[in-house]
């Protein structure tokens, strides 16, 4: 009996070259390795599809890495396996992340045929100098060309990933990038602030800079925008996109009406999803679990017999953890959370659990209550970590 929907995430941990800011589970690999991985992933799909036995898959997301390193045939095989072992809903949203420098007409056509109906292009910037600085492999023109190709092939739901607060970036740069991006009329835009993550080349570079700066030295090399500038960029982005008809539905996500990313919404709304592939995370039956992150280990597991060896971490989400998640995930959405939904889920009033935090945050101007809904204010979004951590019990 099928009474529930779930998402499906497939992780493709390969890229042409590691970008300077990237700390995701991804690395360059040869064709042999990629083929070996694909086979193992297809095996995992087959063996673990039982986990969604009584569920209908209404969103699929091929993320990475760079899934578009796989050619049309490979993606075709993958999607064939997916459709064979899962019950895919008729109007399912099937997204594939693509690096604009790795696709061509042939590939796009094949992807389309295999069932992909939503593209997420990792554009990041509309300027060459910024792309070079980030260590991206594609050129602006390449992206433009492939975007138009995708449109011609009737991809009707396209997202563009853009980054804010890049080194040396000015507000003018951000305005340029956004205007250029919006001129292409994508259905969806993700605008993330660059975060300097530990273990990336950027981290080393900017940590050293910070040390030099503290030592009172003159500024050398590329300079990250200050917090004030970053806020301005963010602010401008929200206002501009709003004017252009894009609704901000989550801290970093904007879309035309009806084009919100349904897969990502599952994350914020605590919907269920199964993640397959190296390091992929899942949330099913109140359990969060994730796969091993070591490629060698992943490939060596005999999934047919020792399925459980795939799981590296597992956590049962109890009532308290569920309430915390409900809050800190729900508040990422501009619509915030519903008090009624809270009560329906947990059998307790929102205020009963969170009265003092709520009042403090409202008093600080970070949280807003509107009828049934509680959401972050403009300022609350700026310091969302601060607010969300307060909702941990």
Site stretch for another protein (CB under 8 A), options 27-35, 68-76, 116-124, 377-385? 377-385
Which residues have CB under 8 Å from 386's CB, separation 6+? 366
Contact string (CB under 8 A) for another protein, positions 15-34, x = contact: ---------x----------
Site stretch for another protein (CB under 8 A), options 79-87, 201-209, 275-283, 367-375? 275-283
Considering only residues 63 through 102, tell me which ones interact with another protein, judged by CB under 8 A: 63
Biggest CA–CA distance in the chain, Å, is 68
Contact between 239 and another protein (CB under 8 A)? no
Q: Which of 42, 69, 79, 251 binds another protein (CB under 8 A)?
A: 251
Query: What does the alpha-carbon distance between residue 103 and residue 72 come to, in Å, rounded to a whole number?
Result: 10
Backbone phi, then psi, for 303, in 5-degree steps?
A: -65, -35
CB of residue 109 vs another protein: minimum separation in angstroms? Answer: 27
Q: Which of 147, 254, 259, 273 binds another protein (CB under 8 A)?
A: 273
Query: What does the alpha-carbon distance between residue 304 and residue 42 come to, in Å, rounded to a whole number?
Result: 12
Query: What does the alpha-carbon distance between residue 296 and residue 39 come to, in Å, rounded to a whole number?
Result: 14
Nearer to another protein, 248 or 282 (CB): 282
CB of residue 231 vs another protein: minimum separation in angstroms? Answer: 6
Q: Which of 33, 36, 83, 281 binds another protein (CB under 8 A)?
A: 281
Contact between 249 and another protein (CB under 8 A)? no
CB of residue 388 vs another protein: minimum separation in angstroms? Answer: 6
CB of residue 36 vs another protein: minimum separation in angstroms? Answer: 21
Size of the site for another protein (CB under 8 A): 47
Q: Which of 67, 167, 275, 330 binds another protein (CB under 8 A)?
A: 275
Contact between 267 and another protein (CB under 8 A)? yes
Nearer to another protein, 86 or 283 (CB): 283
Backbone phi, then psi, for 106, in 5-degree steps?
A: -60, -50
Nearer to another protein, 99 or 110 (CB): 99
Contact between 48 and another protein (CB under 8 A)? no
Nearer to another protein, 8 or 103 (CB): 8
CB of residue 392 vs another protein: minimum separation in angstroms? Answer: 5
CB of residue 391 vs another protein: minimum separation in angstroms? Answer: 8
CB of residue 331 vs another protein: minimum separation in angstroms? Answer: 11
Nearer to another protein, 305 or 363 (CB): 363
Contact between 385 and another protein (CB under 8 A)? yes
Query: What does the alpha-carbon distance between residue 362 and residue 277 come to, in Å, rounded to a whole number?
Result: 42
Contact between 198 and another protein (CB under 8 A)? no
Nearer to another protein, 146 or 282 (CB): 282
- Which residues bind to another protein, rule: CB under 8 A? 7, 9, 11, 24, 61, 63, 192-195, 227-228, 230-231, 251-252, 266-267, 273, 275, 279-283, 288, 290, 313, 315, 324-325, 328-329, 332, 364, 366, 379, 381-386, 388-390, 392
């Amino acid at each position: 009996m099928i009474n529930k929907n779930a998402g499906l995430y497939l992780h493709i941990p390969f890229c042409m070259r590691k970008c300077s800011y990237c700390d995701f589970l991804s690395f360059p690999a040869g064709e042999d390795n990629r083929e070996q991985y694909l086979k193992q992933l297809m095996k995992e799909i087959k063996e673990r599809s039982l986990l969604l036995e009584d569920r209908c898959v209404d969103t699929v997301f091929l993320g990475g890495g760079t899934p578009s390193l796989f050619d049309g045939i490979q993606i075709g095989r993958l999607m064939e396996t997916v459709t064979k072992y899962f019950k895919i809903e008729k109007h399912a949203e099937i997204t594939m992340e693509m690096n604009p420098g790795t696709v061509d007409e042939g590939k796009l056509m094949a992807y389309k045929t295999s069932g992909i109906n939503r593209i997420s292009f990792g554009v990041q910037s509309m300027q060459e100098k910024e792309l070079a600085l980030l260590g991206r492999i594609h050129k602006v023109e390449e992206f433009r060309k492939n975007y138009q190709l995708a449109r011609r092939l009737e991809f009707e739901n396209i997202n563009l990933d853009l980054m804010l607060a890049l080194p040396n970036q000015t507000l003018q740069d951000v305005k340029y990038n956004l205007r250029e991006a919006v001129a292409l009329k994508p259905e969806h835009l993700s605008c993330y602030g660059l975060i300097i993550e530990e273990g990336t080349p950027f981290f080393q570079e900017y940590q050293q800079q910070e040390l030099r700066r503290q030592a009172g030295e003159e500024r050398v090399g590329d300079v990250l925008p200050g917090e004030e500038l970053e806020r301005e960029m963010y602010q401008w982005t929200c206002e501009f996109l709003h004017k252009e008809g894009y609704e901000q539905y989550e801290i970093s996500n904007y879309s035309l009406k009806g084009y919100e990313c349904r897969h990502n919404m599952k994350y914020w709304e605590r919907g269920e999803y199964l993640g397959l592939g190296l390091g992929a995370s899942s949330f099913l039956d109140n359990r969060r679990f994730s796969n091993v992150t070591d490629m060698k280990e992943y490939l060596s597991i005999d999934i047919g017999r020792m399925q459980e060896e795939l799981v590296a971490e597992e956590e049962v989400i109890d009532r308290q953890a569920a309430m915390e998640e409900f809050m800190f995930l729900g508040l990422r959405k501009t619509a915030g959370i519903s008090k009624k939904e809270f009560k329906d889920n947990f059998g307790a009033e929102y205020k009963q659990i969170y009265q003092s935090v709520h009042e403090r945050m409202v008093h600080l101007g970070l949280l807003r209550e509107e009828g049934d809904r509680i959401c972050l204010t403009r300022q609350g979004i700026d310091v969302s970590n601060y607010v969300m951590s307060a909702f941990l019990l």
